[in-house]
Amino acid sequence: MRIRPTKAAGTLVLAALLSCPAASPARAQATHDPRPLDQTPPYHMPSGGPAAAHAHPPAHALPPGKQPPLVVPAAPPPPPVLPPPIPVPTRPPPPVTPAPVVPDAPGEASKAPAGLRITFGPDRADLNPESDAAITALAHAAPGPDASFTITAYATGGDDPSTPRRMSLSRALAVRSALMQAGIPSVKIYVKALGATAPTMAEGPPDRADIVVTAGPAPGPSAPAQPPPPAPPTPPGAPAATTPPAQAPGAPGATEKAAP
């Protein structure tokens, strides 16, 4: 069965479409400015676009010479709340290596002008109880907490030049361990293992270690000599200073040194 649309049904459908809000035409609002174009101020779009222009209308311009009112806050902002410090675990320093002390080790301890001199037996790097006690007494008699100790060790050896160097290093480390056991920090101890090739080896027994105590940090390399300052400029019109030439002996006006 087929239903044919009638004229009355079409009229009802048309009336329903015209009464629907979605079918109504769009509306807009416009503002008319009667001034000419050359007298109309330029329009600047806000940085936020058209939405920002409607949300925040531009403020009225102040007259020339008038400053905007100063806005003073009622109270300063609260201080920032810092988080609690994070605990960092610390590790204890490593244990001190004990000094090699042997009761029958050869060698002796003697006072030096600036410290102590320790002698060793040939091809040996151990200390005897007397030498260890002398090193401990030297550490306890330090001139202050900033005192530093410089250990210079020597050794004899065979044809291989590295053998006395290694032996002198072992002796210097033995003395260093004795100082650290007496309470001297390792950063205050300076070690020099010179072996058998140092010129200062002839100043004492070949198998020895010299300990020098200084009141402050260990002295470093001497600074290079600074050049003398330049001479001041000669004022205009003044005669320039000249160095008289050296006169030969026997020349007129020369002064000879009397013979003894």
> Among 92, 94, 129, 120, which residue's Cα sits nearest to residue 206?
120
Q: How far apart are CA 115 and CA 109, in angstroms?
A: 11
Position 255 scores a pLDDT of 47
Q: How far apart are CA 195 and CA 181, in angstroms?
A: 25
Q: Which domains does the chain have, with CATH numbers?
A: 116-214 (3.30.1330.60)
pLDDT tens, residue by residue, 129-157: 999 999 999 999 988 888 999 999 999 87
Position 238 scores a pLDDT of 59
Least confident interval from 34-48, 107-121, 179-193: 34-48
Residues 6+ apart with CB under 8 A from 128: 101, 102, 103, 104, 105, 106, 107, 108
Is the pLDDT at 190 greater than 80? The verdict is: yes
What's the whole-model pTM score? 0.51
